[in-house]
Chain A
Amino acid sequence: MMPRRVFLPAILILTSVCLSLSALRAAPDGFDQALTTLLAVGPEAKGNAEASSAWKVVASADSESLIPLLEAMGEANPLALNWIRSALETIVDRDLAAGKSPSVDTLGGFLFEVTQNPRARRFAFELIQRSAPNAAEKLIPGLLNDPAVELRRDAVAWLTKQAAEAKTAGDEAAAGLLYEQAIRSARDVDQIKELNATLTKMGRTVDLPRHFGFLMEWKALAPFDNTGRAGFDTVNPPETGIQLDAKYPGKNGEIGWQDLVSSDPYGMVDFNKLFPDLIKEVTGYAYTEFDSAETRPAELRLGCKNAWKIWVNGKLIFGRDEYHRGARVDQYRMPIDLQKGKNTILVKLCQNEQKETWTVEWQFQLRVCDSTGTAILARNRPPTPPLGAVAKK
């Protein structure tokens, strides 16, 4: 959780008096109803016709409606967020064109409310940047551990710059510590990769799998058949129950569960380590157990270029039958509910018939984190395997 005290310096900088947000409200007739209409939009154009009219009412409000609109983002689904954002932009553009800037103090007060919608807070920060760039610049260091990843990113970049300056000045010790502080706060993969590369050059080691929360140790069962890509829809025994000591008829004979360990810094779990002949048209399963300290919402984040399905505690979370179009860390984000104690995670991974050299990968990387990307570590998490660790038969 974000410690609110880190915002104290920023509050002092702005010396803002956070006005009662409700007292600011001065909006056109029908504003509340119109805003409710925007919040009611849903899939497949649900509510669009009504929202189109309501948007005009909301967008006709003056800048005193900025905070109610930003607050409303906390109740908005991703579609409604864009409706509200667009109305906010229209209001701000109209006011700025008339020479009227939004109140930086008021926006700052909203920004400091860490429980508000992260995107709404970022929007407020960017309005401060437009109206008072110097104040915005001074706020950035206080955002290093902000729950809004887009706000945190600027602070990580700022701290990285401080580290680089210390290094240039010859203060390696300070630089190293600052880089380490930066990577601990970093949540964006590009920043983490860059900081890790710098720290590695400085002789410092970062436990990246632990930082991300990648799941490194699995039981694997393969190969089942995936001829003609039919395996994606085929229900094989692990999908109906896990029995780790059982044997099953596989594609090429009897198969049983084997250990499969990743030592990859980015948590890549590679089935080809078990099958060095790079077999094709096959299906494999990977199973692990995650001992959660509490019942809580979480995210599974997957990177994978094979077709896949994922079950948590026996419930299918999502599946996708795309092959070899690319993979990256956090390619897919899936909200899940962790239960206190043991949670089972089953991954189905299908390899297709393509023969090109760029289609040999049969692998995935999976992590458990919160909605900001901060790792959630299992109570039964083993130490990160050393580089070069291999799968055990």
Chain B
Amino acid sequence: MHSRSLALLLLLVPALPASADWPNFRGPHGTGIAEDGATGPAALTEETLAWSSDLPGRGLSSPIVVGDRVFLTCSSGPLQDRLHLICFAAADGKKLWHREFWATGRTMTHEKTCVAAPTPASDGKRVFAIYSSNDVFCTDLEGNLLWTRGLTYDYPNASNSLGMASSPVVIDDTFVAQIENDSESFAVGLDVRTGANKWKIDRPKAANWTSPIVVGPAGQEIVALQSSKGILGVVASTGSEVWNYTEGAATMASSAAFGDIIYAPSNGLTAFKATANGAAVEQLWRQSEQRPGTGSPLVSGNKGYVINGAGVLNAISLKDGERLWRIRLKGPFSSSPIATASHLYVFSEPGIGQCVDLTGAEGVVTSEVDLKETILGTPSLSGNAVYVRSDKHLWRFGK
């Protein structure tokens, strides 16, 4: 496959910010795959470490990259109620600005996670930071505040005592977030200019940490909202239902989409086709043995990659879900892998970064780096750089 076929297939996915950007959780297409031009670092080693920066608080959120800037969230304080949004220079890690806010929603989480769990998102002009407290802050790229929302302040039973973690997406002028929990459970589309509700729909009353993904070509984007009940496709601008896959899905690992095909952590791994015209979903295949762990599946052209709960990386054919090869990695993993056309990068909970060469008949771990800190957040990728964070540091690999 690789770069040529990937480039062709990328024509099918929505138009999003500049190609080097990594504007939201798992990248521009929510697949974990970088744009075609991205090379990533050749290796994860101390030699390819470009810089590291200290952080003022905890976090599981991913860095996002817009132009020459990296944006990251943290939370701090004895009650984790101080919320940080920080902008770094991608070139040298210098802190360009730092905004801090007070949580207006509840901040209790399980001790393993924290309030800065969801990854922020950007439309290339604005940054949207959301936290487990369901506070949303929108700034421009210079850190000037544009609007705020307190979604638990507004809807007082919208919270999860274990913590929220779903990361939002932005489609044109709509910011979409899943605020799903056992009590006041909903998804919402906010106007990116003011933060006002464009739509708000009830969702299953059940804890859910998965993130929405965008499906379909530019101008016909559908947002897929995953939950334990299945996956609901809605029009991004209105929240109107387009299709509904009702066979259940994971509540931690999120789906990935390529073109109009969704690869869902559902009864193992299920591929189904869903279109914007309201047609019923069409199941293409199901592989019950391919069960993503906490991390989400990664899809690229005609191959997919799944890390299961045992820390085994499985490469599968996206044609039928059959396994192509598998290798055991050094786990355990809480985060999702990311990849270019040639390399896959993943970081284990104990802080071992592993770079897998995908160009051969089988994947090979070609380099490792021990960051000696707990890593729970998914890395990000832009150009030749991989960014990853712990509770204390943000690192850039790739000089």
List of A residues within 8 angstroms of B100 by Cβ: 85, 89
Per-residue A-contact encoding for B138-153, CB less than 8 Å = 1, 0 else: 0000011111111001
The docked-state distance in angstroms from the alpha carbon of A49 to that of B156 is: 23
Of A86, A188, A190, A332, most B-chain CB atoms within 10 Å: A86
Q: Given A55-B144, A86-B101, A86-B145 in contact, is the A79-B196 Cβ separation under 8 Å?
A: no
In the complex, A327 Cα to B106 Cα: how many Å?
A: 12
A59 touches B147 (CB 8 A): no
Q: Does any Cβ of B come within 8 Å of A340's Cβ?
A: no
Q: Are A326 and B110 in contact (CB under 8 A)?
A: yes
- Please, which residues of chain A bring their CB within 8 A of the CB of B98? 89
Given the known inter-chain contacts A52-B194, A321-B182, please indicate yes or no for A326 contacting B108, CB distance below 8 A. yes
Q: Is the CB of B182 within 8 A of A325?
A: yes
User: Are the C-beta atoms of A52 and B147 separated by less than 8 Å?
Assistant: yes
Distance of A73 Cα from B97 Cα, bound (Å): 23
Residue of A nearest to B191 (CB): A45
Known: A44-B197, A93-B97, A190-B78. A51 touches B160 (CB 8 A): no
Q: Which residues of A contact B150 (CB under 8 A)?
A: 43, 78-79
A322 contacts the other chain (CB 8 A)? yes
Chain A residues with CB under 8 A of B205: 321
A79 touches B161 (CB 8 A): no
B207 touches A325 (CB 8 A): yes
Complex CA gap A219/B157 in Å reads 28
Does residue A7 face the partner (Cβ distance < 8 Å to B)? no
Q: How many A-B residue pairs have CB under 8 A?
A: 103
Confirm or deny: B104 has a beta carbon within 8 angstroms of a beta carbon on chain A.
yes
Contacting residues of chain B (39-66) with chain A, CB-CB under 8 angstroms: none
> In the complex, which residues of chain A have a beta carbon less than 8 angstroms from the beta carbon of B162?
325-326
Q: How far is A190 from B148 in the complex, measured between Cα atoms in Å?
A: 30
In the complex the two chains form, what is the Cα distance from A150 to B100 in whole Å?
15
Identify B196's interface contact among A48, A55, A89, A188, CB under 8 A. A48
CA distance A341 to B153 in the complex (A): 32
Cβ contacts B156-168/A at 8 Å (1 or 0 each): 1101111000000
Q: Give min CB distance, B148 to chain A, whole Å.
A: 5
Q: How far is the CB of B18 from chain A (nearest CB, A)?
A: 25
Query: Chain A 298-325 against B: per-residue CB contact (8 Å), 1 yes, 0 no?
Result: 0000000100000000000010111101
Residue numbers in A under 8 Å from B182 (CB-CB) = 321-323, 325
Report if A296 contacts B (CB, 8 A).
no
Taken residue by residue from 110 to 126, chain B's Cβ proximity to chain A (1 for < 8 Å, 0 otherwise) reads as 10000000000000000
Closest Cβ–Cβ distance, residue A165 to chain B (whole Å)? 23
> Which residues from A are CB-within-8-Å of B144?
55-56, 59, 90
Query: B148, A331: Cβ atoms under 8 Å?
Result: no
Bound-state CA distance A56–B146 (Å) is 9
What does the 1/0 interface line of B181-211 toward A look like (CB < 8 Å)? Answer: 1110000001101111100000001010000
Separation of A83 and B104 alpha carbons in the complex (Å): 12
Q: Which residues of B contact A51 (CB under 8 A)?
A: 147
A342 within 8 A of B: no
B235 to chain A, nearest CB (A): 21
Q: Chain A residues near B110: list those with CB within 8 A.
A: 326
CB distance A48 to B148 under 8 Å?
Answer: yes
With A305-B161, A321-B182, A322-B182 known as contacts, the answer to whether A81 contacts B149 (CB < 8 A) is: no
Tell me if A234 is interfacial: C-beta within 8 Å of chain B.
no
| Chain B residues near A153 (CB-CB < 8 A) | 78
Chain B interface, number of residues (Cβ within 8 angstroms): 42
Q: Are the C-beta atoms of B156 and A82 separated by less than 8 Å?
A: no
Contacts A153-B78, A320-B157 given; does A45 touch B143 at CB 8 Å: no
Q: Is A328 an interface residue (CB 8 A)?
A: yes
For the complex, is A167 an interface residue (Cβ under 8 Å from B)? Answer: no
Establish whether residues A48 and B195, one from each chain, have CB atoms under 8 Å apart when the complex forms: yes
In Å, the complex CA distance between A79 and B146 comes to 13
- Assess whether B108 is in contact with A49, with CB atoms less than 8 Å apart: no
Chain A residue with Cβ nearest B147: A48
Q: In the complex the two chains form, is A79's CB within 8 Å of B183's CB?
A: no
Q: Are B196 and A45 in contact (CB under 8 A)?
A: yes
Chain B contacts of A327 at CB under 8 A? 161
Chain B CB within 8 A of A251 CB: no
Q: Is A184 an interface residue (CB 8 A)?
A: no
Among A56, A190, A325, the most chain B Cβ lie within 10 Å of the Cβ of A325
Bound together, the chains give a CA A219 to CA B84 distance in angstroms of 45
Contact A49 B102 (CB under 8 A): no
**B161 and A52 contact, CB distance less than 8 A:** no
Produce 1/0 per residue, A22-62, CB < 8 A to B. 00000000000000000001011100110110011001000
- Whether B154 is near chain A, meaning CB under 8 Å from some CB there, is yes
Any A CB within 8 A of the CB of B137: yes
> B4 an interface residue at 8 Å Cβ cutoff?
no
The smallest beta-carbon distance between A14 and chain B, in angstroms, is 25
User: Are the C-beta atoms of B148 and A83 separated by less than 8 Å?
Assistant: yes
Within 8 A of B (CB), among A70-117: 78-79, 81-83, 85-87, 89-90, 93
Query: In the assembled complex, which residues on chain B have CB atoms less than 8 Å from the CB atom of A83?
Result: 145, 148
CB-nearest residue of chain A to B150: A79
Does B319 count as interface, using CB distance less than 8 angstroms?
no
Asked if A43 and B153 make an inter-chain contact with CB atoms under 8 angstroms apart, the answer reads yes
**Interface pair A79/B156, CB less than 8 Å apart:** no
Q: Would you give the shortest CB distance from B87 to chain A, in whole angstroms?
A: 12
Q: Which residues 60-93 in B have Cβ within 8 Å of A in the complex?
A: 77-78
CA distance A48 to B193 in the complex (A): 9
Contacts of B190 in A (CB 8 A): 45
Instruction: From A41, A323, A332, give the contact of B106 (CB < 8 A).
Output: A332
A134: min CB distance to chain B, Å: 22
Asked if B149 contacts A45 (CB within 8 A), the reply is: yes
Q: List 14 A-B contacts (CB under 8 A).
A: A45-B196, A48-B194, A49-B196, A52-B145, A56-B144, A59-B144, A78-B153, A86-B99, A150-B77, A188-B78, A318-B156, A322-B183, A325-B207, A332-B106
Closest 8 CB pairs of A and B: A325-B161, A45-B196, A78-B104, A86-B145, A322-B182, A48-B147, A326-B161, A45-B195
Identify 9 new A-B residue pairs, CB closer than 8 A, beyond the known A82-B104, A321-B182.
A45-B195, A48-B196, A82-B145, A86-B99, A90-B144, A318-B156, A325-B160, A325-B161, A327-B161
